[in-house]
Amino acid sequence: MNVEASEVVRADAAAVFALATDPARMAEWQAGVADVAVVDDAPQAGVGSRLSGTRAYGGMRLPFTFEVTAWQPPRRYAFASVEGPVRMRGEQRVEPRPEGCEVTLSLEVRLPGLGLLGAADPVRARVRSALAEDLTALRRLAETGA
């Protein structure tokens, strides 16, 4: 299942990229993220770094570990899950615009049995909605300079 969402942010692209990729601040704009930390104690995530944390979903707490697969500040960041019950690959792109920048989040999610009984479409809609809500929260955080 692939989903994507975008949002225009009225803030500097480099500042938005830094905010969005800061593990210490991810829980501020990603609903359900309880905590995130860089596993290898690097001061900033980069290719090969691992981020580990917990996401709350549907009353459950799901652990996750992602490995950073692309790191091109201030334009692109990509990751892939290496541990946890949900397998995904994701990419965040930040493109400069006259009014600030446009942030796009793309996810490829693999859940066992998702295609059964037409479950994929409702899940895709829910994930797309969650991505859009996260981007709105990121925009508000970046635009207020918090």
Neighbours of 27 (CB within 10 A): 16
**Worst-scoring range by mean pLDDT, 52-56, 81-85, 137-141?**
81-85
Whole-prediction pTM: 0.86
Contact predicate 109/3, CB 8 Å: yes
- Separation between Cα atoms, residue 14 and residue 103, nearest integer Å: 11
Question: Please, which residues bridge with residue 111 across strands?
Answer: none
pLDDT in tens, 62-114: 888 999 999 999 999 999 999 877 788 999 999 999 999 999 999 988 766 55
Residues 6+ apart with CB under 8 A from 76: 70, 91, 92, 93, 94
Is residue 35 predicted with pLDDT exceeding 90? no
- Separation between Cα atoms, residue 32 and residue 141, nearest integer Å: 16
Residue ranges and CATH numbers for the domains of the chain are 2-144 (3.30.530.20)
